Structures are given as structure tokens and as C-alpha cells.
């Protein structure tokens, strides 16, 4: 019998709501798993076991009284340690934030709680969600990075220490760690999920999003955390949130019987290692076998300039976020974030504006390109998780979609001979997460119904 | 670079950031210089609105 901690989020939620599993037993099983493997994986900045037990008991009592709080009733989750949590330390992977206890929850955290989730604690992030690594390790190979910056969320999910988690992506910080750890991560459209209560790295590039072990699990989480929030004006113009999971269950989520899958003509195979390249080709064949119309598409001429503009905007905004603190605490910043801040300070203001113009132009050109396809398929990373813990790997495959704000996700597409996971990245037009989820769900269903677990 | 030194001096005066900012990050500075050039070479005209304009709504909505 499957241990409760190993259940997918959807299966755990169903077992609880159908009274086959108590929220208390689920929480105890998952906390027991943390006790067992966390000393090796180091995914958590802090675990709040007593709070989690108290919440689980409250939810168990509610269930006995006939009340199901929401779609996550009793489901244990984690939140990256840049999401504010009321009364719970949020240290953003930096000694500068040690002891900071927010007075309120981030909107995404509040929505998880409102849906009945049990927050087990805060997962490790790289320093301020940038590139200086956290202590987290890759559960598939403890000497390899789990990726970043949502390092702990990805590692905790792969190691079965929670059933769902929150991450954020400014360049590649959801999709890359999810791919390296063999799970599913979705970066929503900019404006789909509120940034309120998330410590910024670069305001116009930051995307909070869900991470889990299956596509359906991610759909459930997205449905819970998405939607307008008066605290984040970028969410107010978004279309209504679809019922993602129900649409997947009904099998009518796709835009058409034969989705058009674009294969980019350049950029996304530069420097990709042979095993990842072979897995990507096999994934395209898999999509084709599922009935997809796989066709090459030409990326816009401005694409490469857009990637330069991304770095300019990223570093300038990071410098603006940190300037006041940085003056007096330079030595307490990690080297990689220091480099971001200091180069950001040196960029002339007209260059920043120009970079935002390039962004407008590339966004329009990408939108036009998506007129001929439903999803774009690429490798999720240049290869498997690199060996060593000093670097979290490269976000080059993921940052194009952070830059234009289009939704993207990764779904596992095999493992290397050494046993490390590889991911297939899919992207879609703005606010079309449903198409993304539908294609990924079909692919996942044809390749691996039961997600692999690392040999811990 | 001479020009970097001048820029750093401005940083120190205007933003009160230490004058040695950047001296450890020559490779990153060089990459940033290349990116600045690339962004200015990109064919966008003044008709192109920069991303990030205000998102307004009526307060009585």
C-alpha cells in the first residue's frame, strides 16, 4: 500500500475528502518522511511541525462535522521562503532577513490556507531568489544541485516531503528546478497569480507559481492561487480563472483534437547535452504519436536582443530592490547577487527603457508566432542537474517566457543513464494555461502515470 | 576602464554606493556592456511603448 506521504496531491486530497484518510494521519506520515530524509536533502528553511499538527487536527474536526474547507482540505504543502507567512519567519535565504516575521500572508499562501492546505513550513530559496545557492540538494543525486531559485520546493516534492509547493520564477526559477528534480512546475502568465507578499527580485519579471508531482496536481494548485487580487494590480485585467483540473478530468481541455506543437528554429538547442537532446527529440515523437501536429516555427528576429534586454531589466530592478540595504550591508550579500546589483547600478536609465521597449516588441512578435501554434516545445534545461552545489544551473531555456510573461511548464520526459531527470518545457500564449496543462497531461499520461521517486 | 571609473564616481555621489562597487565583477561588467550595446542596436522606434506602463482601474469598480 502506498504510504500517505507518497500520494500525489490529487490522490491525497481525494482520500481526505472521501474520509479514507484523516488529515492528521496524512500530516503525521509526511512529517515522518521529513524526519527520515530531510537531514540528507535539506529542502526546508524551517518546518513548523506543531503548527501543522494543530491545523491537521482542526481540519480533521471540521471533516467530522461534515465540512470540507476546499480542494486542498488537509493536504500538506510548502512555500518558498520568499512568500510572506503571517507569524512565521521569512528569511529569503539571506542572513539580512533572519528573524523577519511578516504580519500577513502572501496572497498565494492565504489562498492555499483558505483551500484547506496544511502549511508544513518554508522551503529553501537561493539568496533573495537570485543565484547564490541554498543548502538544498537534489534528491536524485545528493551531490548535484536541485536547481534554483525554488530549490527547496522542488527538492521537497521530489523527496515526498510535501504534496504541493509554491515557487517563483524571475528567469528560470520554477521550471529549471522542477526539471532537475523530476517534478512538474508551472510558471503562470504574468498577472495570473498575485505577487503580493512575495519579496521581489525584479518586479516586472517575478512570477509566483505552483509546483507538484503531476500535471493535475499543478492544475489544482493553480486554480486555488490564481485570480484577481486588489493588492496586485497586474492581476486585475486577467480573464476569469478556468476550472483547470475539472477540464483535465473531463478530457475537454485542449483547444483542438490535434494540438499544433511548435519546435523553435534556433536558440533552444544551443549547448544542450546529447542525452537531453535525445530525450527532447523522443518527447516530440511522443507528442506526435499522441496526434499532435509537430511543426518548426521561426522565432522572432528580436528574440536574441530580448534575452539581452531580460538581463538588463533583471539586474536594474534587482539593484533598485536592494539599493537601500546594499549600501550598508554589501559584505553580507552573496557574490552572484552582488554582481547583479552592481552591474544593474551601472546601466544607464535610457538603456532600461530601451530594454522595456524591446520587451514590448518581442512580446507582440511572440504573440504573432503563437497564432500558428498552440504550444511551443523545448528542452527545460541544457541537460540534467549539474554536479556540485555551488551553481544552480542555467536559466537560458526558461527566461524567454519570463521575459514576455507567457505561461510555461515542465513535465518529466525521462532520465539520463546516470538516473537524473530531464524535463520537457512547454509554453503557450498569455492566459492559456489550460492548453499548456492539457498537452502536458496527455504527454504525462502516455509516458508515466506514476511519477518516479528518487532512491533515497 | 576609464569610463567605468567616472560612472562609479557618479554612483558614489548620487546613490551613496561605495566607489569600489564593481571592481570584483569585471566579467559581469563586460557582459553588461555587450548587452547594453545589443539592446540599443535592436530595431525599435519611439512608437514602441516601453513595457510596464501603469495598469489603471476605476476606484469605484
Indicate which CATH number applies to the domain containing A193: 3.90.1300.10
Q: How far apart are CA A49 and CA A57, in angstroms?
A: 12
What band does B17 get if pLDDT is binned at 50, 70 and 90? confident
Return d(Cα A256, Cα A259) in angstroms, integer.
6
Kindly determine whether residue A330 and residue B18, on different chains, have CB atoms separated by under 8 Å: yes
Contact state of B55 with A234 under an 8 Å Cβ cutoff = yes
Task: Report whether A167 contacts A174 (CB < 8 A).
Answer: yes
Residue A330 sits in the same domain as residue A362: yes
User: Across the interface, which of A335, A339, A355 has its CB nearest the CB of B39?
Assistant: A355
| Helix (H) or strand (E) segment spanning residue A297 | strand A293-297
Closest residue to A360, CB basis, from B15, B34, B49: B49
Q: Does A297 reside within a domain?
A: no
**Residues contacting A311, CB < 8 A, separation 6+:** B31, B32, B35
Task: Check CB contact under 8 Å for A302 and B51.
Answer: no
A144 and A238 share one domain: yes
Residues A166 and A54 in one domain: yes
Q: How far is A371 from chain B (nearest CA, A)?
A: 21
- For A353, the domain range is 303-369
Residue A149 a catalytic site member:
yes
Measured between beta carbons, which residues in chain B are less than 8 angstroms from residue A315? 32
Q: First and final CA of chain A: distance in angstroms?
A: 18
Q: What is the CA radius of gyration of chain B?
A: 18
Domain boundary among A319, A339, A369: A369
Contact B42 A236 (CB under 8 A): no
Residues A414 and A389 in one domain: yes
- Residue to test with chain B: of A354, A362, A402, A404, most B Cβ within 10 A: A354
- The sign of the dihedral angle between the CA atoms of A185, A190, A196, A200 is positive
Residues A129 and A112 sit within 8 Å (Cβ to Cβ)? no
Mark whether A339 and A382 lie in a shared domain: no
* Beta pairing partners, A167: A209
pLDDT at B26 exceeding the cut of 90: no
- Domain match, A390 and A342 both: no
Residues of A in contact with B42 (CB under 8 A): 302, 305, 309, 354, 358, 361
Tens of each residue's pLDDT in chain A, 456 residues? 689 999 999 999 999 999 999 999 999 999 999 999 999 999 999 999 999 999 999 999 999 999 999 999 999 999 999 999 999 999 999 999 999 999 999 999 999 999 999 999 999 999 999 999 999 999 999 999 999 999 999 999 999 999 999 999 999 999 999 999 999 999 999 999 999 999 999 999 999 999 999 999 999 999 999 999 999 999 999 999 999 999 999 986 666 679 999 999 999 999 999 999 999 999 999 999 999 999 999 999 999 999 999 999 999 999 999 999 998 898 899 999 999 998 999 899 999 999 999 999 999 999 999 999 999 999 999 999 999 999 999 999 999 999 999 999 999 999 999 999 999 999 999 999 999 999 999 999 998 756 689 999
Written as nine digits, the cell of A95 is: 542572513
Give the residue from A64, A69, A52 showing the smallest Cα distance to A5: A52
Q: Are residues A211 and A357 in the same domain?
A: no
In a domain, A275, yes or no: no
B38:A315 CB<8 A: no
Q: Within B1-61, where are the H helices?
A: 2-10, 26-41
Query: How is the beta sheet containing A421-427 ordered, strand by strand?
Result: A44-47, A118-123, A76-80, A164-169, A207-212, A184-187, A408-415, A421-427, A375-379, A260-264, A293-297
Question: Which 3 state secondary structure label does DSSP give A378?
Answer: strand
Distance, in angstroms, between B25 CA and closest chain A CA?
Answer: 6
Beta-strand (E) ranges in A173-280?
Answer: 184-187, 207-212, 260-264
Cβ-defined contact of A351 to B44 (cutoff 8 Å): no
Residues 21-60 of B with CB under 8 A from A: 21-22, 24-25, 28-29, 31-32, 34-36, 38-44, 48-52, 55, 57
CB A294 within 8 A of CB A288: yes
pLDDT recorded at residue A255? 61
Using the Cβ of B12 and the Cβ atoms of chain A, whether some distance falls under 8 Å is answered with no
pLDDT band at B25 (very low <50, low <70, confident <90, very high): confident
User: Cell for A246?
Assistant: 475539472
Q: Looking at the domain assignment, is residue A280 inside a domain?
A: no
Show me where the domains of chain B are located: 2-41
Cβ neighbours of residue B46 under 8 Å, at least 6 residues apart? none
* Residue A157 cell numbers, joined: 516534492
3-state secondary structure of A91: coil
Query: Tell me, what's the pLDDT at A74?
Result: 98
Does the annotation count A173 as an active-site position? yes
Q: What angle separates helix B26-41 from helix A349-369, to the nearest 10 degrees?
A: 60
Q: Does residue A112 lie in a domain region?
A: yes
Q: Cell numbers of A8, please?
A: 500525489
Q: Helix-strand-coil percent breakdown of chain A, rounded to 5?
A: 45, 15, 40
The DSSP output letter for A111 is: H
Catalytic, A94? Answer no
- Rounded to whole angstroms, what are the CA distances from A101 to A83, A119, A129? 11, 16, 18
Are A308 and B38 an interchain contact pair (Cβ–Cβ within 8 Å)?
yes
Give the phi and the psi of residue A181 in degrees, each rounded to 5: -100, 0
Q: Are residues A96 and A35 in the same domain?
A: yes
C-alpha cell at A400: 524567454
Nearest by CB to residue B17, choosing from A345, A359, A360, is A345
Say if residue A307 is in the same domain as residue A385: no
How many domains are there within chain A? 2
Kindly state whether residue A455 falls inside one of the protein's structural domains: no
Question: Are residue A28 and residue A147 in the same domain, yes or no?
Answer: yes
Interchain contact B3–A (C-beta under 8 A): no
- Is position A24 within any domain? yes
Instruction: Give the pLDDT confidence score for residue B3 in this predicted structure.
Output: 57
Inter-chain residue contact A204 with B52, CB threshold 8 Å: yes
What is the rounded distance in angstroms from the CA atom of residue A20 to the CA atom of residue A276?
41
A185: β partners: A211, A410
Mean pLDDT over each residue of chain B, to the nearest integer: 78
* Substitution target from B9, B17, B36 for chain A, most A beta carbons within 10 A: B36
How far is residue A315's CA from residue B26's CA, in Å, rounded to a whole number?
A: 15
Residues A346, B32: C-beta atoms closer than 8 Å: yes
- Under a CB-based contact definition with an 8 Å cutoff, are residues A137 and A144 in contact? yes
Rounded Cα distance, A331 and A350, in Å: 30
Do A314 and A433 have their domain in common?
no
- Measured CA to CA, the distance from residue A117 to residue A451 in angstroms comes to 22
Q: Are A339 and A405 in the same domain? A: no
CB contact under 8 A, A204 and B51: yes
Chain B neighbors of A330, CB-CB under 8 A: 18, 21
A10, A130, A149, A150: which one is catalytic?
A149
Amino acid at each position: 500500500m502506498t504510504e500517505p506521504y507518497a500520494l500525489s496531491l490529487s490522490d491525497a486530497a481525494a482520500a481526505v475528502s472521501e474520509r479514507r484518510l484523516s488529515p492528521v494521519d496524512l500530516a503525521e506520515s509526511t512529517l515522518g518522511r521529513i524526519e527520515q530524509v530531510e537531514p540528507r536533502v535539506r529542502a526546508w528553511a524551517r518546518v513548523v511541525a506543531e503548527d501543522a499538527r494543530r491545523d491537521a487536527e482542526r481540519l480533521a474536526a471540521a471533516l467530522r462535522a461534515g465540512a470540507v474547507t476546499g480542494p486542498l482540505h488537509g493536504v500538506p504543502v510548502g512555500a518558498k521562503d520568499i512568500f510572506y507567512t503571517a507569524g512565521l519567519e521569512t528569511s529569503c535565504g539571506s542572513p539580512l532577513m533572519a528573524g523577519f516575521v511578516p504580519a500577513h500572508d502572501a496572497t498565494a499562501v492565504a489562498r492555499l490556507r483558505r483551500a484547506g492546505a496544511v502549511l508544513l513550513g518554508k522551503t529553501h530559496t537561493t539568496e533573495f531568489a537570485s543565484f547564490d545557492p541554498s543548502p538544498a540538494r537534489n534528491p536524485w543525486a545528493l551531490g548535484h544541485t536541485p536547481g534554483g531559485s525554488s530549490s527547496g520546493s522542488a527538492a521537497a516534492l521530489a523527496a515526498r516531503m510535501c504534496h504541493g509547493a509554491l515557487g517563483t520564477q524571475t528567469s528560470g526559477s520554477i521550471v529549471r528546478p522542477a526539471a532537475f528534480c523530476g517534478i512538474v512546475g508551472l510558471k503562470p502568465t504574468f498577472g495570473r497569480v498575485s505577487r503580493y507578499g512575495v519579496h521581489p527580485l525584479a518586479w516586472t519579471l517575478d512570477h509566483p507559481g505552483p509546483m507538484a508531482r503531476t500535471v493535475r496536481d499543478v492544475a489544482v494548485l493553480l486554480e486555488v492561487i490564481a485570480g484577481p487580487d486588489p493588492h496586485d494590480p497586474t492581476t486585475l485585467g486577467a480573464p476569469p480563472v478556468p476550472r483547470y483540473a475539472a477540464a483535465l478530468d473531463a478530457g475537454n481541455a485542449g483547444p483542438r483534437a490535434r494540438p499544433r506543437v511548435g519546435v523553435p528554429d534556433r536558440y533552444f538547442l544551443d549547448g544542450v547535452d546529447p542525452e537531453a537532446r535525445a530525450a527532447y527529440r523522443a518527447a516530440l515523437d511522443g507528442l506526435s504519436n499522441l496526434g499532435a501536429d509537430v511543426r518548426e516555427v521561426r522565432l522572432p528576429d528580436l528574440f536574441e536582443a530580448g534575452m539581452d534586454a531580460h538581463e538588463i531589466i533583471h539586474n536594474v530592478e534587482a539593484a533598485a530592490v536592494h539599493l537601500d540595504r546594499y549600501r550598508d550591508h554589501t559584505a553580507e550579500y552573496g557574490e552572484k547577487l552582488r554582481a547583479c546589483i552592481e552591474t544593474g547600478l551601472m546601466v544607464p536609465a535610457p538603456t532600461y527603457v530601451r530594454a522595456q521597449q524591446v520587451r514590448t516588441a518581442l512580446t507582440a512578435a511572440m504573440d504573432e508566432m503563437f497564432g500558428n501554434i498552440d504550444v511551443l516545445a523545448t528542452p527545460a534545461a541544457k541537460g540534467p542537474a549539474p554536479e556540485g552545489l555551488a551553481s544552480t544551473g542555467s536559466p537560458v531555456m526558461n527566461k524567454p517566457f519570463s521575459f514576455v510573461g507567457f505561461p510555461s511548464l515542465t513535465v518529466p520526459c525521462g532520465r539520463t543513464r546516470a538516473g537524473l531527470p530531464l524535463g520537457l518545457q512547454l509554453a503557450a500564449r498569455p492566459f492559456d494555461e489550460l492548453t499548456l496543462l492539457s498537452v502536458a497531461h496527455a504527454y504525462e499520461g502516455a509516458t508515466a502515470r506514476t511519477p518516479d521517486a528518487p532512491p533515497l | 576602464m576609464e569610463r567605468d571609473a567616472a560612472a562609479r564616481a557618479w554612483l558614489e555621489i548620487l546613490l551613496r554606493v561605495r566607489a569600489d562597487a564593481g571592481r570584483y565583477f569585471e566579467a559581469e561588467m563586460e557582459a553588461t556592456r555587450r548587452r547594453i550595446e545589443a539592446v540599443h542596436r535592436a530595431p525599435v522606434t519611439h512608437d514602441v511603448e516601453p513595457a510596464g506602463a501603469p495598469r489603471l482601474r476605476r476606484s469605484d469598480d
